[in-house]
Structure 1
Amino acid sequence: MRLANKTCIITAAAQGIGRATVLAFAQEGAHVIATDINLAALKQLQQQSNRIEIELLDVTQVEQVVDLARHYPYTDVLFNCAGWVPTGNILACSQEQWHQAFKINVDSMYYMIRAFLPQLLLRPSSSIINMASAASSIKGVMDRFAYSATKAAVLGMTKAIAADYITQGLRCNAICPGTIDSPSLQQRIEHQAEREHRSREEVYQQFISRQPMGRIGNAAEVAALAVYLASDESAFTTGTFNHIDGGWTN
């Protein structure tokens, strides 16, 4: 019960890391508000625990974000998990793709943090967790131009929030995953296989081959890190970039 009596908002909660974190938070005693644009998947998730409440939310729509914050005025933890992974280098990145990447990966966090910050500051020990990436802090990754740029912005935002509110009981940290098995990864594998006229297994093995541990990570492992950052166990931790990448960036 490491998160007992805490109310936690999680975006992109219907699948992947978001879904695993909802379940981990609920297991640790939190009241979890799981948000996503996929209502059917949210309803399935809600059946897993009576500590899970669901809300349909498009994080790119500021009016929806503001309404959500009004509906839940007592929030202890905000986990900004929503994101999009566009592929391609700078020459393959259209202006539309560039703006869409920032809209989903950066603007949405700006909306969420601005909306929930006043109430977070009223809580005795509040925490913001931002989803970044190992591809933005240390490791350069081919064909991830727009994605890496947006996740670098997330790291800057995390540092700024941590510095501005360090004396007011609010902590802000980022999680920087490496390659994690998720629906998003499976979609990228499928698209890459089609584009390169290769089998899905070949592309999957390519992802594994770049991992020093010889495997990719799983969503539950990232969720365990999120539990720590949400809990009072991390009370002395703020402004950090937490790599969970199987040694990929070593």
Structure 2
Amino acid sequence: MQNYYTSKIILITGGAQGIGRGLAQAFALEKAHVVITDLDWEAGADALAWLGKQHLTIDFIPCDVSKEQQVQQLMNKVRQVYGRLDVLINNAGIAAPVRRSLAQLPVEEFDKVLSVNLRGPFLCAKYALPLLEKGTNPTILNITSTRAFMSEPDTFGYTAAKGGLESLTHSMAISLAPQRIRVNAISPGWIETGPWQKDGKKTEPQHSQEDKEQHPVGRVGNPEDIAEAALFLCSEKAGFITGQSLTIDGGMTVKMIYHE
């Protein structure tokens, strides 16, 4: 990005593992000051060590993004250390329970998924706003999911939260336009994150030919695919783009499937 991100302040929620870890690596490689937050202390320490081996330095601040007080404390720490924020990436999310029937899904489990996946981005944007207003070409990027547009059975909480986050994206884009804050989303499809987990949870991809052929591009996605798009959307090169959602799924959601 031609040194665009040098010394930019980037905050990535859920940045210790999976897509978030890939995002942290990508922005750190661009010489940005990257701050990751995560509820998992062990994963955060592992991410610091993993990136340190690549001679990349980031900061880790533990936080449960569903808790208002913790989000306030997070943003206060960012303000104390950096004084501003140029990019907020709302990536933190949970899927559990992955599947449970409507009749058997406890309200508490449904609410928990919404609290992290939808309330969290709202809280982070709310309390990051004064920092973003001091940033250079400030942007918010929400990581949603193709589950916002299509479903498998019994995935109520995750689907509802990601659909809500898609709507929150264009709502914030219009509402924050007077402050010149752009807001966009990336909607990932099947992204293989096994190698991007903390030690003890890392797994090697085991994709069948059928898995690959579900995607018109012929493979399953990886965090780098999301990171490359994030680098573009949060840069001045995307200065005329706001309120949009970019689907990155290898073409899976536009492929018609017939069962003969």
Output the TM-score relative to the length of structure 1: 0.86
1:106 aligns with 118
1:152 aligns with 163
Q: Which of 205, 216, 225 is 2:229 aligned to?
A: 225
The size of the alignment, in residue pairs, is: 235
Indicate conservation of the 8 Å contact 2:19/2:196, yes or no.
no
**1:30-89 C-alpha deviation (Å, 9 max, x unpaired):** 100011122233223224245411111111221111011112121110001011123234
Quote the Cα distance in structure 1 between the aligned partners of 2:169 and 2:57: 28
1:118 aligns with 130
**1:118-147 C-alpha deviation (Å, 9 max, x unpaired):** 22123231000111111103x333332221
Q: Which of 4, 7, 20 is 1:5 aligned to?
A: 7
The structure-2 alpha-carbon separation of the partners of 1:159 and 1:53, relative to structure 1 and needing over 3 Å to count, comes to: same
- What is the CA distance between 1:181 and its match in structure 2? 0.5
Indicate conservation of the 8 Å contact 2:21/2:196, yes or no.
no
The code of the aligned residue for 1:57 comes to C
**1:74-108 C-alpha deviation (Å, 9 max, x unpaired):** 11100010111232343343212211111111111
Secondary structure at the aligned position of 1:156 is classed as helix
Quote the Cα distance in structure 2 between the aligned partners of 1:185 and 1:123: 30
**1:200-229 C-alpha deviation (Å, 9 max, x unpaired):** 969x67654533333210011111111112
2:73 aligns with 67
Indicate conservation of the 8 Å contact 2:118/2:165, yes or no.
yes
What percent of counterpart residues are identical?
A: 31
Quote the Cα distance in structure 2 between the aligned partners of 1:221 and 1:27: 15
Q: Which sits farther off after the overlay, 120-129 or 39-48?
A: 39-48
The structure-2 alpha-carbon separation of the partners of 1:35 and 1:126, relative to structure 1 and needing over 3 Å to count, comes to: same
Q: Which runs of 4+ in 1 moved over 6 A?
A: none
Indicate conservation of the 8 Å contact 2:18/2:194, yes or no.
yes
The code of the aligned residue for 2:245 comes to F
Quote the Cα distance in structure 1 between the aligned partners of 2:212 and 2:56: 37
1:246 aligns with 250
Structure 2 portions without partners, runs of 5+:
198-204, 255-260
Structure 1 or 2: more helix by fraction: 1
2:200 aligns with none
Quote the Cα distance in structure 2 between the aligned partners of 1:217 and 1:94: 32
Quote the Cα distance in structure 2 between the aligned partners of 1:185 and 1:140: 25
The code of the aligned residue for 2:85 comes to T
The code of the aligned residue for 2:38 comes to D
Q: Does 1:141 align with 2:152?
A: yes
Q: Which of 97, 103, 115 is 1:91 aligned to?
A: 103
- Cα RMSD of the aligned pairs, angstroms, is 2.3
- What is the CA distance between 1:234 and its match in structure 2? 1.1
Secondary structure at the aligned position of 1:101 is classed as helix
Indicate conservation of the 8 Å contact 1:3/1:230, yes or no.
no
2:258 aligns with none
1:41 aligns with 43
- What is the CA distance between 1:19 and its match in structure 2? 0.3
- What is the CA distance between 1:231 and its match in structure 2? 1.5
The code of the aligned residue for 2:135 comes to R
Indicate conservation of the 8 Å contact 2:18/2:196, yes or no.
no
1:195 aligns with none
The structure-2 alpha-carbon separation of the partners of 1:71 and 1:144, relative to structure 1 and needing over 3 Å to count, comes to: same
Indicate conservation of the 8 Å contact 1:29/1:51, yes or no.
no
